Amino acid sequence: MSFFGFGQSVEVEILLNDAESRKRAEHKTEDGKKEKYFLFYDGETVSGKVSLALKNPNKRLEHQGIKIEFIGQIELYYDRGNHHEFVSLVKDLARPGEITQSQAFDFEFTHVEKPYESYTGQNVKLRYFLRATISRRLNDVVKEMDIVVHTLSTYPELNSSIKMEVGIEDCLHIEFEYNKSKYHLKDVIVGKIYFLLVRIKIKHMEIDIIKRETTGTGPNVYHENDTIAKYEIMDGAPVRGESIPIRLFLAGYELTPTMRDINKKFSVRYYLNLVLIDEEERRYFKQQEVVLWRKGDIVRKSMSHQAAIASQRFEGTTSLGEVRTSSQLSDNNSRQ
């Protein structure tokens, strides 16, 4: 970024110390495009240099101070004037004075708390960025650099299966089962559909993954539902006693971890939506929330050795329990 005025201009650049070795991650921007950013985790140090390159070596650049900030903020699209900062750190790099030659300033933010995952949604954006500022009397010179933060989770201690019986009295009675209630982002949803009573001519059945983004509070709450995936279970009429397996791979879809009440500003939840369509095009559906979490590629340094062993041991086990609920399809479902 250049500043032109009073005969001098300066190019500002933010350089990370571990830029060559640090992993990058794809992240969706506001316009829907994907770009790669440096990837950080909670507790990691952020360090580097702010480089100032003067365009006219024979002229000086006066300033009122130079600083760099590390900021985590939430921006609600319907309230763009207000940025809600949940992390705000600042380092002064130079006192007021003048710069007569190009130079670089070192900075380090040690063990920075990054409590939430980076997120770009339909109504909200959560971002982390470094911002270098050269304070000037008329116009400040500002340079920003975004980074991406991923939140990692360990294996859940309790990961019950989901079993539900749904039906329309004397017409339809089915039971569906999913092997877990919590899935990591590269997981596989395994389940079965059992047809106990079929007196409706069903022609199609599918499972949808629905992302529900909730923003705002009180009267200003906005809900956005986005169908991430459609998985066809069957095409044709089932018969009584039939059992249909489900195997849905999550790795191919754009998913984030479940995010609940992030800084009291927004939530992101995921649901499995079982959809049945009869020959008269009537739709019957049943939703069940599932929790998604991000599994680390490597064991984090912050994890104890015992926790690492326990997590590996858990990976090879089956679910520890079952949650059984029962409800009538006609109570909670919708016909169109």
Domains 10-149 and 162-293 share a fold: yes
44, 103, 144, 71: CA torsion to nearest 10:
40
- For 173-210, the DSSP string reads EEEEEES-SEEETT-EEEEEEEEEEE-S-EEEEEEEEE
- State how beta strands 172-178 and 119-120 pair: unpaired
Q: Rounded to whole angstroms, how far apart are CA atoms 128 and 205? A: 42
Amino acid identity, position 268:
V
pLDDT on residue 64: 93
Amino acid identity, position 70:
F
Residue-wise pLDDT tens digits, 73-117:
999 988 877 889 999 999 999 999 998 889 999 999 999 999 999
Q: Measured at the alpha carbon of residue 59, what is the angle toward residues 55 and 63, in degrees to the nearest 5? A: 90
Q: List the one residue out of 55, 46, 149, 57 whose CA is nearest residue 89.
A: 46
Tens digit of each residue's pLDDT, the chain (336 residues): 444 444 568 899 999 999 999 999 999 888 888 999 999 999 999 999 999 998 887 788 889 999 999 999 999 988 877 889 999 999 999 999 998 889 999 999 999 999 999 999 999 999 999 999 999 888 899 999 999 999 988 777 788 888 888 777 778 788 889 999 999 999 999 999 888 887 778 888 889 999 999 998 777 889 999 999 998 887 777 778 888 899 999 998 999 999 999 999 999 999 999 888 888 888 888 899 999 999 875 444 444 343 343 334 333 333 222 333 333 343 334 433
Q: Is residue 223 within 8 Å of residue 212, measured between CB atoms? A: yes
| CATH number for domain 10-149, candidates 2.102.10.10, 3.30.70.2860, 2.60.40.640, 3.40.50.11290 | 2.60.40.640
- State how beta strands 322-326 and 161-168 pair: parallel
Domains of the chain by residue range: 10-149, 162-293
Q: List the one residue out of 179, 127, 173 whose CA is nearest residue 288.
A: 179
64 CB neighbour count, 10 Å cutoff: 13
pLDDT on residue 283: 83
**Statement: 162-293 belongs to CATH 2.60.40.640:** yes
Handedness of CA 134, 135, 141, 147 (dihedral sign): positive
pTM: 0.80
Q: Rounded to whole angstroms, how far apart are CA atoms 109 and 70? A: 8
pLDDT on residue 312: 41
Residue-wise pLDDT tens digits, 151-202:
988 777 788 888 888 777 778 788 889 999 999 999 999 999 888 887 778 8
pLDDT on residue 310: 35
Q: Rounded to whole angstroms, how far apart are CA atoms 208 and 275? A: 8
- For 124-161, the DSSP string reads EEEEEEEEEEE--SS--EEEEEEEEE---BPPPS---E
pLDDT on residue 8: 66
Q: Rounded to whole angstroms, how far apart are CA atoms 213 and 33? A: 19
Q: Is residue 160 within 8 Å of residue 320, measured between CB atoms? A: yes
